[in-house]
Copies of this chain bind each other. A is one copy, B any other.
């Protein structure tokens, strides 16, 4: 079994991140039901309470909606999802630039370095 979590970040956050991304890239679609807290717990080998904490966090982000007695569902509001995706994309880009900038790279160097990086990646995948 592949190790699913690393230890430097709480499990509930790692799990939330993973599910969030599954939703953002469309692997889980609008309105779809997530597996129950208990089933997910078994699947990723984690206590159901921990899974529930994950679902609670996702609900606070409005990515997911819990309905008592029925289950937990991906939001059916496309607008919310789109805005979250855009927001996250910006955050990731900002973080990247911030980091590079603080290491002393100029905008040009960042651009260039990234191009090389992409191209190298492209070759690797051939």
Contact = CB atoms under 8 A, between A and B. Distances in A.
Q: How many protomers of this protein does the assembly include?
A: 4
Interface in A60-119: 60, 65-68, 85, 88-89, 92-93, 95-97, 99-100, 102-105, 107, 110-111, 113-115, 117-118
Contacts of A102: 21, 25
Interface of A: 7, 10, 21, 24-26, 60, 65-68, 85, 88-89, 92-93, 95-97, 99-100, 102-105, 107, 110-111, 113-115, 117-118, 121-122
Given A65-B7, A67-B7, A111-B115, A92 B85 contact: no
A123 B19 CA distance: 36
